[in-house]
Amino acid sequence: MLNRSVTGHGDSRSVRRLAVTLATLPLLACAGSAHGAGGPPQIPKIPGKWSHVELNVVIKKVPHTLIVDRGKVIEITTTSVTLREAGGVTPTIPLTDATIVTLDGRPAPISSLRRKMTVTTLRVDGGAAVRVRATTV
């Protein structure tokens, strides 16, 4: 079904992909809930160009907000990472010893993060990052 009043050219393939992604997030969150077996949820794959996304989900009948940030590292310590996101926004994301870090798809310590790396973080309910995905490219 075309919706030209919203997209101007009918349904957009990327909008459909985004809708499917958003519809599956509660399932992903339930499968990997930080309070259940399996650890924290995975960082969702969100299509398109973005730098900050907040998603409200319900996990085991409890509402949560998943916060995903993406940008270049401009400062890193053992307890936080500061990013430069699109538009110049510079959020500081808290980190803990429990934060799960991957670098180029492999598990890594927080100390492996460096300035200028591209990083995606996942927080739950405004807390510290539960996951950090970094790439050197």
pTM above 0.85, yes or no: no
Q: Which domain covers residue 90, as residue numbers?
A: 4-135
Instruction: Quickly list H helices, 11-133.
Output: 13-31
Band (pLDDT 50/70/90 cuts) for residue 27 is very low
pLDDT digits (tens, 9 = 90+) for 120-134: 999 999 999 999 999
Count up the domains in the chain and report the number. 1
Coil, strand, or helix at residue 11? coil
CA distance 117 to 137: 7
Would you say residue 6 has pLDDT above 90?
no
Contact 93, 129 (CB under 8 A): yes
Nearest to 94 by CA among 64, 52, 132: 132
CB 110 within 8 A of CB 91: no
